[in-house]
Structure formats: C-alpha cells, structure tokens
C-alpha cells in the first residue's frame, strides 16, 4: 500500500534519538520552575474556599504590612477587562467585591513577596468576607427550571448544545429488528501532568513584558494577557518553556494572566509555581458525561440507527467545552457506517471543577458508550462482537458523518487482521481456579486537526527555517514541546530536506517573538500542520541553494541533489560543492536564507483528518475477589507514515496507560463543588506495577496523500480506544454490563451477585 511519495529516508521513518533527550537525562533541561531572574519575587494566588460565594469585602492591610510582602493585588487594581478565556471572555482574573465566585479555582487576590514563605503568610493574612451561597453541583439540577444562572443570560445554564443528524432516524429504528439501549457514566479525569502550572515573567527596560511558562499555546496566552490587562499585543512576548506534560490541561491559559498582572503591578520579576493541590483545582478536567445511547440493527447485525444524548458537566466556564462536546457527539458514530443517526449533546454550567481539554478531547467518553453498546448489541444478537463491528466498518469511499476530511484511505480490515494476529489465541485458565478470561475490542477513528481555523482566522500555520553560512540550520516553530517529540520530528524532516546531519539542525519552539503563528499544540495536529509548513519552507531554501550551486557547478539545477551536507550532480558524483560553501556565497550575496512556510488547508472551515485505531485486551477476572488482571493489551494505529517509530510507540503506550487508569483506578471526586482527592495519594494514576503483563504497540502505515511524507497526526489515539477494550474484556469474562468507570473489583462482585440472585 505504500505509495511512491513515501520514502524511508535517512531520518524520516528512522528510529532517531530525541533531539532534546540529553538535557532531560542529565537534568540540564530547564523547566519553568528551574528559571531564576535577578530580584525575582514569588507570586501566590488566593483561591476561593467556596464554589459559590459573594465576595463582600477584601481587607489586605495586614497582609500588606508583613515583612517581605511587595504587593497585594485585588480586582480593583486591574485596569484591563479583568476577564479572559478561550473564545468567550468570561473567566475573571480576580473576583472582586460584590461579585460571585463560580468555583473553587476562582482567584480572589494575588500576592507578590520576596520569598515563598512570606507569600504564604500574606495569603493567610488577607481577610475576605464571603456570603456563602448554595452551589449548583449537578448538570441536572443546573439545567432545571428556576436554577440560578451561573452566567447571567445563560438560559438553563446551557453552555452548548451540539447536534448531529444524518438520515431518517425514525425509519432507521423502524428497519431495525433488534434495539438495545443503555446509559453510561464516565468520570472526571485529571491530566496529572507531573509539572504543575508554572512560569516566570518580567518587564524589560523598554517596557516589553516577557513571559516564560509551561503552556500549550503561546498565542492564546498573548491574546488573554492583552484582553485581561489591556497591555498592547506588541508589548507582550510569550515563550513556552519545555513542558513537563500537559495532556490538554495547559491548553487554556493557566497562570500567565495572573503572572502578568503581578509583574506589571508589583514592578518586579515574579515566579509562580502552583502546588499540586492548587494545580488539581485550577485547570479544567476531562468532562464527566452521562451518555444515553440507543442502537438498532437488523438480525444479521447491520446497524440501522444510532441515537444518543450526552449530558456533560461543563464546570463554571466555557473554555474548550463546545469543541470537546462537539467531538464527543461526532465520535459516537466511530469508524462505522450507520445510515441514520441522531446525536445530541448538552453541556451544562455548574459550580464544580472546570471541564475542558484532555487528551482525546471528548472522544474517549464517546468510545466508552459506543463500544459498550456494540458489545451489548452483539450479545443480544448472539453474534461475535468482532464480527458485528466488521459488518459495520466504514467502507473505503464511504462518507463520514463528522466534519472530517474525506480523503483518508480506510484501513479497518487491515487493522482487524493485524490485531487478531497480535492477540493470538485466548489464554486459558483452569476452571477450578475460579477465574475467567475475557477479550475485548475497540475500533476507533481518532481525528486530528488539519486546519486550526478557529484559532488562526484564515492565516494558516506558519514555520520559519534559516540556514546559516556554516551550514547549520534552525527551525522556528510555534508549537510546543510537551514531551510528545515534535522537536525531534521537525528536526528529522528539516535534516532530510536540507541534506544536513541532524546534529546541525536546531529547533526553536513556542516563542511568539521568533516563531510564526502556528496555533495550539493539541488535537494531534503538529506533525501534520507544522510538517507541511516545514516542507514549504525548506523547499524555498533548497531552491535558493540549488540555484546558486547550479551556477557554481555550471549544471542545471534539476540535476542537483542535496545530501550529507553536499550538493552533488546526480550523474557525476565527483561534481559537487559543500553546502557550507554554497550557504556562505548565498549569505555574502544577500540571498534569502530564512524562509517561512505557511500551510493552510484549502477549505475555510473547521475540519479534522481521521486516522484509524484498534485496541484489544485480554483480562482475567477473579470471581472470588473481583480482581482484574490485564494479561495482554495491544494497540495498533494507522496514522499514515510514521516519522519516528520509537516516538510513535511511546504515544501509544502512554495514551493506553492513561486509558487503563481511566478504566480502573482514576477517580477525581468532587463533592459539593469541592475536590476531595487533591493529591497523587488520592487520585491514583497507574504505576509501573499496573501495566499489562504483555503490552504491544504497533502501526499500519497507510500513506495519507496530503500529509508530510504521508503522515497524519498521532497522540491521543490509544486513550480513545483502550478503555472500551478493557471494559469489554471484563464484561466478556464475567458476562456483566459495566456502565460506570472507574470499575472497581467490588463493582464486579456486586454485579456477579446480582446476576446470581436473578438466576435463583
């Protein structure tokens, strides 16, 4: 299937070492908290202790009087809008007197002090009178008639209400011989990045504000700082530092607006580092959803109709909720061809923790409901769950229902064959052991953003490349290195295209001063959009170099190739010139050696590309204790050409284990609007002991015609597809319905007992 435009280059497709690895294994890499500035002060935020309360009075006098306290800031000190937020600017930087808090992550005051201890002391000394009000803590309650409006004018506290309709749903159910329906509940998932929100900032002599912080989108931070504080955009420089994990949790502005306000008003450099509890409270989580789904099929397993309603807890602010819920709704269809579909979602504002982006972006919730109901349907039809899926696979050429780019070759059959081969026979346990084995599958169609249009208007995605007279090159890319490896991927492509050894290629990222706008680092988009932009930029530089070399060598440009730091004539290898020599000549002659590439998808609408993904799990369940052991977990993706196989595997393993946590261990509990699991000893992400006994990651590489070297995006995939595979394997082993995650052993015991009681 490999097309001739896909190459196995020296670097592209090879297992190249991460270009940022040495600093990370030696401890030399500087994260935001490792930066120190002269006269640096420490910033702390006073958060609301109540999910909903009216701030009556704030007294900062005793805090201000403390030794070592530089400045206390409240809403009345802010001269800008004092608001920020993605798309809708309704997130207050500081809740002022007379205003209401909307959740426990709302900020009341800011402290700038000489030491962290002095800042802590000042926080304790700020006196705030609150009128405590009853919070809305469930979406049902919040959308009920008469509920108070968390945002004035938001009727029924509705944040958004996406709908996806296709075909005639009534006819679809009429044509169905079997109908099954069920409700699934998914939990609030915490990104649990290890590096908490952090940053440093200062204003330089010329009045330029510099922010260095752990973020996913420097451009969005710049917009927010400008809007909230009224600082001209031309006076703001945002640099994303190397990020210690984000997974969507740093996609909206975190502490940067707070930091900028502190620096501006206290007139000293400031560092903010949230502690773990603050971090857990502060950033938006994966939305907890209630998904009712109903599916109709013929007796031979051809699905005719799919209907679903999603009720999603938006938390207090809009943020990414409309996009996330939009994806949940469209992902309910998955990689299947279904003639009639009616899917609706409602995201409701509450006073709970905020909800927003987390790896998978709404698709994991959808996959839980979709793949669970498919197994239930298979059970009712007495059909093999894999056969049912296969019968309904999206067919090559068939149009997809979600707003995706319809030009991706469908490889579901191939994935199915591969995963069956990798899984091998179902392991056996002897019956006297009181254990049962089960196998579960999930197929998915993870999307990646090809356009980023909502973020960038119609400008597209930019990148810059410069080659220097010493034949070293630098790529300036506005994406952010979160750990996913984009720096390495871009270095590989640039080295390949410019014929340079990879150690002569440097990649500067996430800097609004030096990098053209590239939009957010999310939605598995950077390899595709930045890779394409990079090819456009390197092509221009190649042209310049080759044209100049053609003159030097007195041959036609078309006969020249660029490799290993040399420009050579194709037919006569002796005829060549060093790249350094050509670059020096170009530089001396003033030829342009810094070029920008702008990639823009032809269609001006929000759009995804799609990939394909299959996961399967074998589990053994102990009937006595309910204990679940994952014997084998296989993830296979088709994200087109894989630029770096080691990095790609890392994305699958990592995403898959986050999904295992989502299925079995992770439970962020919020009661009455307050977080009661604010630490890593209460919110349990998997340890090295929790991985499956056999853990496999692999790829099928169907080239994507518009991708760089045929590549698509890859990052979120295994998070979508692993949870349902595990849930279905457990269901399959012990023949029970699972409707709520996380699944604990006692839930299994309860279900087994309930079943036994039913049978008696």
Q: Which of residues 688-717 bind another protein (CB under 8 A)?
A: 688-691, 695, 697
Interface with another protein (CB under 8 A), residue from 90, 276, 422, 540: 276
Q: Can residue 647 be called a binding residue for another protein (CB under 8 A)?
A: yes
CB 100 within 8 A of CB 116: no
Alpha helices in 241-362 (DSSP H): 256-266, 276-282, 321-331
Interface with another protein (CB under 8 A), residue from 687, 705, 735, 754: 687
* Interface mask toward another protein for 203-242; x: CB under 8 A: ---------------------------------------x
CB 285 within 8 A of CB 190: yes
CB 743 within 8 A of CB 187: no
Quick one: CA dihedral 218, 223, 228, 233, positive or negative?
positive
CB of 597 to another protein, least distance (A): 27
User: What DSSP string runs through 639-665?
Assistant: -BS-S-HHHHHHHHHHHHHHHHHHHHT
Which residues does 201 contact at the CB level (< 8 Å), separation at least 6?
209, 210, 211, 212, 213, 256, 259, 260, 262, 263, 269, 270
Interface with another protein (CB under 8 A), residue from 649, 674, 712, 717: 649
Residues 334-353 binding another protein (CB under 8 A) are none
* Interface mask toward another protein for 417-446; x: CB under 8 A: ------------------------------
CB of 126 to another protein, least distance (A): 16
CB of 141 to another protein, least distance (A): 22
Q: What is the dihedral of CA 461, 196, 684, 186, to 10 degrees?
A: -40
CA distance 379 to 388: 10
Residues 444-463 binding another protein (CB under 8 A) are none
Q: CA 364: distance to chain centroid?
A: 12
Q: Can residue 684 be called a binding residue for another protein (CB under 8 A)?
A: yes
CB of 496 to another protein, least distance (A): 20
Residue 243 or 473 having the CB closest to another protein: 243
Residue 287 or 435 having the CB closest to another protein: 435
Interface with another protein (CB under 8 A), residue from 10, 31, 420, 587: 31
Q: Can residue 686 be called a binding residue for another protein (CB under 8 A)?
A: yes
Q: CA 329: distance to chain centroid?
A: 17
CB of 690 to another protein, least distance (A): 5
Applying CB under 8 A, the span of 26-34, 337-345, 346-354, 367-375 interacting with another protein comes to 26-34
Residue 284 or 655 having the CB closest to another protein: 655
How crowded is the C-beta side of 565, counted as CA atoms within 13 Å? 13
* Interface mask toward another protein for 164-203; x: CB under 8 A: ---------------------------xxxxxx-------
- For residue 71, list its beta bridge partners: 112
CB of 67 to another protein, least distance (A): 14
**Alpha-carbon distances of 65 from 46, 128, 145, rounded to whole Å:** 17, 16, 48
Interface with another protein (CB under 8 A), residue from 8, 30, 174, 299: 30
Interface with another protein (CB under 8 A), residue from 1, 2, 7, 21: 21
Q: What is the dihedral of CA 134, 138, 143, 147, to 10 degrees?
A: -10
CA distance 100 to 757: 51
Parallel, antiparallel, or unpaired: how do β-strands 270-273 and 41-47 relate?
Answer: parallel
Q: Can residue 18 be called a binding residue for another protein (CB under 8 A)?
A: yes
Residues 96-135 binding another protein (CB under 8 A) are none
Residue 96 or 686 having the CB closest to another protein: 686
Interface with another protein (CB under 8 A), residue from 56, 552, 679, 705: 679
User: Of 271, 262, 201, nearest to 236 (Cα)?
Assistant: 201
Interface with another protein (CB under 8 A), residue from 84, 212, 247, 709: 247
- The token pair that represents 278 in the structure block: 């603050």
User: Of 294, 132, 80, nearest to 672 (Cα)?
Assistant: 132
Residues 508-567 binding another protein (CB under 8 A) are none
Q: Cα Rg for the chain, rounded, in angstroms?
A: 27
Residue 297 or 667 having the CB closest to another protein: 667
Q: Can residue 65 be called a binding residue for another protein (CB under 8 A)?
A: no
Applying CB under 8 A, the span of 65-73, 319-327, 518-526, 643-651 interacting with another protein comes to 643-651
CA distance 231 to 209: 9
- For residue 100, list its beta bridge partners: 54
Q: Can residue 244 be called a binding residue for another protein (CB under 8 A)?
A: yes
Surface-to-core class of residue 88, CB atoms within 10 Å of its CB (0-12 exposed, 13-18 middle, 19+ buried) = middle
Q: Can residue 655 be called a binding residue for another protein (CB under 8 A)?
A: yes
CB of 488 to another protein, least distance (A): 10
Interface with another protein (CB under 8 A), residue from 10, 24, 292, 575: 24
Interface with another protein (CB under 8 A), residue from 231, 685, 699, 743: 685
Applying CB under 8 A, the span of 260-268, 489-497, 557-565, 645-653 interacting with another protein comes to 645-653
CB 190 within 8 A of CB 245: no
Residue 37 or 178 having the CB closest to another protein: 37
Interface with another protein (CB under 8 A), residue from 127, 141, 275, 604: 275
Residue 403 or 645 having the CB closest to another protein: 645
Applying CB under 8 A, the span of 84-92, 597-605, 702-710, 744-752 interacting with another protein comes to 744-752
Tell me what percent of the chain is helix, strand and coil, each rounded to the nearest 5. 30, 25, 40
CA distance 344 to 164: 6
Give, as one character, the DSSP assignment of residue 511: B
Quick one: CA dihedral 754, 756, 759, 760, positive or negative?
negative
Residue 248 CB: number of other CB atoms within 10 A?
Answer: 27
How crowded is the C-beta side of 340, counted as CA atoms within 13 Å? 17
Q: Can residue 754 be called a binding residue for another protein (CB under 8 A)?
A: no
* Interface mask toward another protein for 490-509; x: CB under 8 A: --------------------
Total site size for another protein, rule CB under 8 A: 73
């Amino acid at each position: 299937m490999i097309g001739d435009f896909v190459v196995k280059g020296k670097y592209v497709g090879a297992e190249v070492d991460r270009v940022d690895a040495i600093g990370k294994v030696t401890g030399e890499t500087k994260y935001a908290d490792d930066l120190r500035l002269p006269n640096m002060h420490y910033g702390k935020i006073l958060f609301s202790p109540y999910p909903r309360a009216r701030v009556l009075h704030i007294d900062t006098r005793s805090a201000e009087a403390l030794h070592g306290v530089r400045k206390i800031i409240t809403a009345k000190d802010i001269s800008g809008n004092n608001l920020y937020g993605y798309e809708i600017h309704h997130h207050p930087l500081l809740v002022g007197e007379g205003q209401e808090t909307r959740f426990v992550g709302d900020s009341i005051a800011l402290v700038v002090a000489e030491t962290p201890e002095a800042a802590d002391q000042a926080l304790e000394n700020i006196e705030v009178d609150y009128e405590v009000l009853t919070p809305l803590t469930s979406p049902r309650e919040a959308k009920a008639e008469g509920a108070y409006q968390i945002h004035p004018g938001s009727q029924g506290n509705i944040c958004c209400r996406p709908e996806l309709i296709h075909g005639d749903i009534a006819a679809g159910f009429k044509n169905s011989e079997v109908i099954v329906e069920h409700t699934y509940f998914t939990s609030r998932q915490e990104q649990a990045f290890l590096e908490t929100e952090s940053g440093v900032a200062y204003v330089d002599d010329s009045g330029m504000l510099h922010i260095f912080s752990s973020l996913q989108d420097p451009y969005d931070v710049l917009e927010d700082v400008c809007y909230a504080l009224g600082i001209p955009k031309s006076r703001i420089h945002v640099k994303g530092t190397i990020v210690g994990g984000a997974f969507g949790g740093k996609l909206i502005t975190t502490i940067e607006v707070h930091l900028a306000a502190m620096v501006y008003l206290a007139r000293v450099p400031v560092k903010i580092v949230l502690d773990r509890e603050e971090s857990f409270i502060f950033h938006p989580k994966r939305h907890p959803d209630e998904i009712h789904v109903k599916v109709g099929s013929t007796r031979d397993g051809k699905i005719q109709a799919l209907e679903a309603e999603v009720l999603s807890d938006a938390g207090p602010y809009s943020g990414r909720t409309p996009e996330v819920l939009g994806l949940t709704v469209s992902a309910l269809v998955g990689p299947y061809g279904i003639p009639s579909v009616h899917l609706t979602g409602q995201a409701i504002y509450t006073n709970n923790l905020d909800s927003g982006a987390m790896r998978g972006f709404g698709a994991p919730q959808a996959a839980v409901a979709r793949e669970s109901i498919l197994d239930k349907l298979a059970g009712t039809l007495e059909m093999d769950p894999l056969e049912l899926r296969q019968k309904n696979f999206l067919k090559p050429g068939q149009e997809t229902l979600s707003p995706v780019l319809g030009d991706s070759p469908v490889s579901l059959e191939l994935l199915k064959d591969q995963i069956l081969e990798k899984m091998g026979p179902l392991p056996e346990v002897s019956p006297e052991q009181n254990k049962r084995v089960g196998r579960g599958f999930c197929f998915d169609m993870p999307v990646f953003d090809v356009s980023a249009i909502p973020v960038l208007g119609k400008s597209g995605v930019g990148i810059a490349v410069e080659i220097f007279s010493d034949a070293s090159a630098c790529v300036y890319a506005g994406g952010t290195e979160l750990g996913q490896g984009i720096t390495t991927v871009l270095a590989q492509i640039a080295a390949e295209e410019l014929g340079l050894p990879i150690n002569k290629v440097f990649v500067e990222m996430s800097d609004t001063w030096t990098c053209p706008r590239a939009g957010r680092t999310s939605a598995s988009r950077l390899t595709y959009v930045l890779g394409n932009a990079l090819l456009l930029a390197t092509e221009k530089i190649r042209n310049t170099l080759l044209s100049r070399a053609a003159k030097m060598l007195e041959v036609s440009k078309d006969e020249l190739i660029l490799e290993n730091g040399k420009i050579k004539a194709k037919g006569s290898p002796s005829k060549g010139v060093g790249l350094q020599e050509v670059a020096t000549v170009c530089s001396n002659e003033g030829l342009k050696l810094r070029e920008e590439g702008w990639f823009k998808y032809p269609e001006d609408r929000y759009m995804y590309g799609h990939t394909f993904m299959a996961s399967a799990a074998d589990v053994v369940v102990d009937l006595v204790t309910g204990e679940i052991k994952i014997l084998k977990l296989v993830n296979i993706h088709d994200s087109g050409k894989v630029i770096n196989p080691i990095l790609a595997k890392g994305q699958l393993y990592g995403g898959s284990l986050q999904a295992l946590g989502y299925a079995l261990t992770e439970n962020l509990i919020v009661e009455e609007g307050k977080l009661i699991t604010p630490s890593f000893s209460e919110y349990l992400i998997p340890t090295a002991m929790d991985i499956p006994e056999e853990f496999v990651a692999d790829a099928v590489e169907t080239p994507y015609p518009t991708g760089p070297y045929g590549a698509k995006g890859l990052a979120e995939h295994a998070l979508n597809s692993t949870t349902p595979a595990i849930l279905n394997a457990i269901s399959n082993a012990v023949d029970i319905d699972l409707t709520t995650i996380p699944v604990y052993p006692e839930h299994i015991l309860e279900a087994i007992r309930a079943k036994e009681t039913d049978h008696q």
